[in-house]
Amino acid sequence: MGNDGGSIPTRRELVKEATRDPTTTELKASQHEQQEYYWSTDPLSNKPLAQPIVSDLLGQLYNKDSVIEFLLPSEEENVVKKTEAERITRGSIRSLRDVVQVKFEVSPDEDVKNGLSTAGKFICPITKKTLGPGSKTVYLVPCGHAFSASVIKEIAGEKCLQCNEPYAPNDIIPILPTDPTDIARLSLRVQTLRERGLTHALKKLPGSRKRKKNGEKSGNETNGESAPQVQKGPKQQALESESSKNVPSGIKNASTASLTAKVLEEQEILNKRRKTDANANLKGLFSSKDPKATSKNTDFMNRGYTIPAQGKR
């Protein structure tokens, strides 16, 4: 190349402007645009948000029907779609116990289509201000009522202002949080709930066991009164005391304990019988040490023939 009247452009000529970090104004504009999208669109189906609307543990909003469709078993051709949905939810939704239905109050001039109110004109039931991008909005767990964050902060008390249901301060969930402090608090809340065997909706995790506290009443106690005790005879008490010796200490259920004791007792009898039979079989192979015992077959080495007496051949 060269000597043809052309020129080779340099990097300075190709790069008109040097790369720079976005300004604060540009960041806010981009963040506001993103908030508008997630306040009006379901990220799973890319359809407009329509009640009923649910939220996960990170404050993301979804259509409830989209979440149900995502949780249903998928066919092979929908594997790519399900994988993309798992990326969007970031693994926060494994069942309906991981979401809470958010109860928004809709403004009176909201357009209603087919019985479903389109999102975008939600209002705070206390201040009547519009909830959406640009306003910090929270909802309470487990009731799900949504309010302006300033209302929950200013009004003292730990009961919902609409349904009067109690809630913990850590169960105030910001919707689409952008503050790093709120995001960190939600992540810490998730870890705490999982250690307690609870989901985001404060429901029991599948497969977790509910531990009984000291002094908690058992299942057969109702209204402060224990179940009547059945009188047992001395024979039955003796049998139960005998069988309880073989019961492992970890078994709490009475029927399971009695059945286990019975099985262990039968197993012990069989083991003793096997040992006795084995000793008898082994004993027959060898001669007795008793000098008075007279037996032609002294041991298994000479069994099958008789040693002739002395002087006789």
Phi and psi torsions of 204, nearest 5°: -70, 135
Instruction: Give the residue extent of every domain in the chain.
Output: 24-195
Structure tokens at 103: 């109860």
Angle, helices 234-243/254-283, rounded to nearest 10 degrees: 70
Give the residue ranges of DSSP H helices in 158-248.
Answer: 180-195, 234-243
Structure tokens at 256: 């399971």
Largest CA distance in the chain: 139
pLDDT tens string, the chain, 313 residues long: the values are: 555 667 777 777 777 666 677 788 888 888 888 889 999 999 998 999 998 999 999 999 999 999 998 888 766 656 777 888 888 888 889 899 999 999 999 887 655 444 444 444 899 999 989 998 888 999 999 999 999 999 998 886 788 999 999 999 899 999 999 889 999 999 999 999 999 999 999 999 887 655 544 444 444 444 444 444 545 555 555 555 554 555 555 555 565 666 667 667 777 787 777 667 656 655 665 555 555 554 444 555 555 555 565 655 5
The alpha-carbon radius of gyration of the chain (Å, integer) is: 39
